[in-house]
Amino acid sequence: MAATGPVPFKDVDDGTFSAARDPKEEFGDLVVTLPRKEQFLVGRLYKGFWLPEPYAPGILAFQRRFTPRPDDVVLTSYPKCGTTWLKALAFAVMARNAYPPAAADHPLRRLNPHACIPFMEDIFTERREAKLESLPSPRLINTHTPYSLLPETVTTGGGCKVVYICRDPKDMVVSLYHFLRHLQPGLSFSDTFDSVLDGTVPYGPMWDHILGYWHASVTRPDRVLFLKYEDLLQNTGEHVRKLAEFMGRPFSAAEEALYTVASIVELCSFDNMKNLEVNKTGATEWKCKNMAHDSFFRKGVVGDWMNHVSPEMATRLDEIFHDKFRGAGLI
Ligand code: A3P
């Protein structure tokens, strides 16, 4: 019997796949003409968004070359808004027949969530499209690409689904600061904060990133699911059911009777994930930078911004986002 997806990306043999065309050869000339800003990573302004320079050619290749399958699910997020958690939950939900969540040998107990679901920026930058194509359906894939820059085949046709997660920008900026400090110990919080305020933060402006997915979820609710980290944290089980239903894998009465949802919530919970050996050691090997697994699990709470952001700074950030979101029905 042919394997059904999703399977952990890392488990697929790297073997004999040939490398795709180098996106730097294809799009490098275009990228060097784009406005450039030295931030934590160098950014390039493309169609209104500051793309991390090392990934810009790969994002363009993803946009032009990716062919979705009708049953693909694209997991999208603004960075530091719960990507790792969403990846874990979506994988656990979609793969629950092959990998029961309570099983001791569940892939998420031996692999970091980023090793289970491929990150498009990295796949296209590293020319690993053949491996992506080899995955059995349904596939789960992940990107931070803004909605307006997604492949047209994803946003207008193809039939695949998109799940987006965002978060209170104040908690995002604190999370981003701590994450980036793993790469740049000297980074100041005020520089990180200012980059969110002026929109030059990687994949920024954050408000436009959120709004793109929000509007899409309003106009195409059957295709785009919009989640908030805070809601997920408040009632994880309810949102896991919502996610499963949206992805076309609702829980049956028999599964409910067996507490499958609770098992998934527990498997993917912050405390469980953070304390797994695999997440305390090792690193995710991305082209941009290798990131230590433990850097993806810090506090996992709502409101940690209060320990870093002064009331005046909070008001400034809130005012900008309220202003940008006015009339969108989002807050
Ligand atoms: P904090 O830095 O506020 O703790 P991303 O995965 O998009 O990089 O987001 C990282 C944020 O999600 C971090 O927030 C991290 O601690 C939190 N996180 C990671 N795994 C989580 C989980 N299983 N449950 C809740 N939060 C989680």
Residues 121-140: pLDDT tens digits?
Answer: 999 999 999 999 999 999 99
**CATH, residue 79:** 3.40.50.300
Residue 6 binned pLDDT confidence (cut-offs 50, 70, 90): very high
Domain encompassing residue 133? 36-325
Distance from residue 130's CA to the centre of ligand 1 (Å): 30
Mutual angle of helices 189-197 and 169-181, in 10-degree steps: 140
Q: pLDDT per residue over 287-313, tens digit each?
A: 667 788 888 999 999 999 999 999 999
Counting ligand 1 atoms within 8 A of each CB, the residue from 76, 84, 298, 299 with the most, and so the one to mutate, is 84
Alpha helices by DSSP H, listed for the chain, are: 23-31, 56-65, 83-94, 113-116, 120-125, 129-134, 152-155, 169-181, 189-197, 206-219, 229-234, 236-246, 253-257, 260-267, 270-275, 277-280, 311-325
Q: Is 135 contained in some domain?
A: yes
Q: Is 69 contained in some domain?
A: yes
Rounded to whole angstroms, how far apart are CA atoms 296 and 284?
A: 10
Q: Is 313 contained in some domain?
A: yes
Predicted local distance difference test score (pLDDT) of residue 39? 72
Catalytic residue selected from 106, 114, 144, 239: 144
Q: Is 14 contained in some domain?
A: no
Q: Is 70 contained in some domain?
A: yes
Q: Is 9 contained in some domain?
A: no
Average pLDDT along the chain: 94
Task: Look at residue 2 and tell me whether its pLDDT is greater than 60.
Answer: no
Distance from residue 34's CA to the centre of ligand 1 (Å): 32
Q: Is the CB of 298 under 6 A from ligand 1?
A: yes
Q: Is the CB of 84 under 6 A from ligand 1?
A: yes
Tokens 């993806």, residue?
Answer: 296
Nearest CA to ligand 1 atom 14: 300
Q: Is the CB of 296 under 6 A from ligand 1?
A: yes
Task: Look at residue 229 and tell me whether its pLDDT is greater than 90.
Answer: yes
Counting ligand 1 atoms within 8 A of each CB, the residue from 117, 175, 284, 288 with the most, and so the one to mutate, is 175
Q: Is 174 contained in some domain?
A: yes
Distance from residue 274's CA to the centre of ligand 1 (Å): 10
Task: Look at residue 190 and tell me whether its pLDDT is greater than 50.
Answer: yes
Predicted local distance difference test score (pLDDT) of residue 88? 98
- Report DSSP state, residue 156: T
Catalytic (active site) residue 144: yes
The 3-state secondary structure of 232-301, one letter per residue: HHHCHHHHHHHHHHHCCCCCCHHHHHCCHHHHHHHHCCHHHHHHCHHHHCCEEECCCCEEEHHHHCCCCC
Q: pLDDT per residue over 237-272, tens digit each?
A: 999 999 999 999 999 999 999 999 999 999 999 999
Nearest CA to ligand 1 atom 27: 300
Of 37-51, 67-81, 255-269, the poorest mean pLDDT is in 37-51
Q: Is the CB of 270 under 6 A from ligand 1?
A: yes
- Give the contacts of 45 (CB within 8 A, at least 6 positions apart): 34, 35, 36, 37, 51
Q: Is 16 contained in some domain?
A: no
Residue 1 binned pLDDT confidence (cut-offs 50, 70, 90): very low
Distance from residue 307's CA to the centre of ligand 1 (Å): 17
Of 31-40, 100-109, 230-239, 252-261, the poorest mean pLDDT is in 31-40
Q: What is the tally of structural domains in the chain?
A: 1
Q: Is the CB of 178 under 6 A from ligand 1?
A: yes
Q: What is the pTM of this model?
A: 0.97
Work out which ligand 1 atom sits closest to the CA atom of 297. 16
Work out which ligand 1 atom sits closest to the CA atom of 304. 3
Of 13-17, 64-68, 214-218, the poorest mean pLDDT is in 13-17
Work out which ligand 1 atom sits closest to the CA atom of 273. 23
Of 18-27, 35-44, 116-125, 139-148, the poorest mean pLDDT is in 35-44
Counting ligand 1 atoms within 8 A of each CB, the residue from 76, 81, 85, 239 with the most, and so the one to mutate, is 85
Predicted local distance difference test score (pLDDT) of residue 291? 83
Q: Is the CB of 268 under 6 A from ligand 1?
A: yes
Q: Is the CB of 203 under 6 A from ligand 1?
A: no
Of 84-93, 134-143, 178-187, 251-260, the poorest mean pLDDT is in 178-187
User: Region 306-322: what's the mean pLDDT?
Assistant: 96
